[in-house]
Amino acid sequence: MFDGVALEQMSSHDTVAADGDKNPLLSGLPPAETKRWSCRRKAAVVIAIRAGVLNRPEACARYRLSVEELASWETALDQNGIPGLRVTRLQIYRDAPLRKR
């Protein structure tokens, strides 16, 4: 699974070669049958999309997510980092000013 170290080392602009085998990379993602989403699991999916391991339609199909839910994860990650993906803290981050990069 993408752990804290992998999340920090992987740039959101890195891409996987088109002819590269994605299977080893997919095995590091949360299982397709995931029901309980931690903020780290959500971040791993968003980072995998940005790295080219998955595209948005694949991620939505694999994890049974709506396009809107996935987009909200991306926005929350961009605006508040991994803590912004916490469900229990959603209201606090929703009204907070954007963090500085």
Task: For CA atoms 9, 14, 17, 18, give the dihedral sign.
Answer: positive
pLDDT computed for residue 97 by the predictor: 63
- Output the pTM of the full model: 0.67
**pLDDT band at residue 27 under the 50/70/90 scheme:** confident
Contact at 8 Å (CB) between 68 and 84? no
Query: Looking at residue 26, what is its pLDDT?
Result: 78
Are the beta carbons of 10 and 29 closer than 8 angstroms? no
Q: Tokens 């991994």 belong to which residue?
A: 82
